[in-house]
Chains A and B, each alone.
Chain A
């Protein structure tokens, strides 16, 4: 079960539907791993419903009602089956849709000997939405950000100076935090990362790469 969660004000923005699309997708993916955050979101949604019900109603004419009634025949009620068995160990449906295949079918850009990145298209032109593949025991060179970074662990785990993170854990870092994540020794780690500015390596050995690390939003 996930141990690291989005803050309550971040969840509020998610529930109110106002987070940028790419960030919203990352939180939604975390909820699939985290019943506690789902519960918290449900309470925040109750708050939304209470605010909604207490709006001052704006009159709607009968013309609109008649338009809708006339369209009911074109839109027959759908029937729904009960949800299937819980899909244990499966990636969130939203991610599967964006990936259109499994990890091995994606195109991976090799950044260092232990880090490869695959960029996914969400349509959000301000945020990069990418999968990071870190080899078991491999290290992402120490880096910082000019913007914010959301991370969700999808497979394996990694650690940095602040702690160690496993499947379903969610991290949010603001600009200028410096860290050097290392994948756990036991297996390769795959993370989802959502960025609004490219990462910048701080160690001299990799700094030459910075000009090549453009943000790949879209």
Chain B
């Protein structure tokens, strides 16, 4: 029987859990045997996303975007053995490396003289929550499902903040909105995506 693929009617398309597992296995293989064929597959999937991430908001030049792809991919190769599939999905792991490398690149370009690298800002200990991975998978699935239901103005702000790397104040200036409106859209989006925890 053929499996029917639901090409999300709202235009929101994302990977399934299966695809995520494929990349986790890929990373595990790279860590275990230094498998270059696995690394090449990994590169072909993630490099175009990293490049898109670098170029969103046209914050970096094409040459810097390629440099970022190289840096992130080499880091993924070097640090593959630190990847723990029980704690995070491969895509979250790669996103985090890309975010840190981009932050460091911005600071380099702005000639920031700091003893700290973006990796130093990670908490010393990951949460020792035994169901962290299960929760993470659930939360990612929920986010995928609900993303299509977000009003466009909320989705737009999230893209500006996360992908374009704009602060709330910068996003407000760019969209000609009061800062309070931007903040409340972020908060509303986070509630709708059901990732707000009681603290």
Residues on A close to B: CB < 8 A?
5, 8-9, 12-13, 16-19, 21, 24-25, 28, 31-32, 35-40, 42-60, 64-65, 67-69, 71-72, 75-80, 83, 86-87, 92-94, 97-98, 121-124
Contacts and interface: CB of A to CB of B under 8 A. Distances in A.
B85 to A, nearest CB: 14
A137 to B, nearest CB: 30
A115 B82 CA distance: 43
B78 A78 contact: yes
Interface string B102-118: 11000100001111101
Interface residues of B, number: 85
Contacts of B187: 8-9
A97 B95 contact: no
A40 B123 CA distance: 13
Contact of B197 (A43, A60, A71): A43
A65 B162 contact: no
B115 to A, nearest CB: 7
Contacts of B183: 9
Interface of B: 12-15, 30-31, 34, 36, 39-40, 43-44, 47-49, 51-53, 55-56, 65-66, 69-70, 73-74, 77-82, 89, 91-92, 94-96, 98-100, 102-103, 107, 112-116, 118, 120-129, 132, 136, 139-140, 143-144, 147, 158-159, 161-163, 165-168, 183, 186-187, 190, 193, 195-197, 199
B108 to A, nearest CB: 12
B158 A65 contact: no
Contacts of B98: 52
Given A18-B166, A53-B14, A65 B107 contact: no
When A and B form their complex, which 5 residue pairs have the shortest distance between CB atoms, in order from nearest? A123-B114, A57-B48, A43-B195, A49-B92, A55-B52
A123 B123 contact: no
B95 A24 contact: no
Q: Which DSSP category, helix, strand, loop or mixed, fits chain B's interface? A: helix
A83 B82 CA distance: 10
A47 B195 contact: yes
A64 B13 CA distance: 27
Contacts of B190: 8, 12, 44, 47
A17 B165 contact: yes
Contacts of A60: 47-48, 51, 66, 69
A65 B50 CA distance: 13
Contacts of A35: 127, 129
Contacts of B31: 77
Given A16-B162, A36-B197, A86 B125 contact: yes
Contact of B136 (A21, A42, A79, A98): A42
A78 B161 contact: no
B172 to A, nearest CB: 12
B13 A122 contact: no
A196 B43 CA distance: 41
A122 B15 CA distance: 39
18 contacts: A9-B168, A21-B107, A28-B123, A38-B123, A38-B127, A44-B190, A46-B143, A47-B190, A49-B140, A52-B163, A53-B14, A55-B56, A80-B79, A86-B125, A98-B115, A123-B113, A123-B115, A124-B114
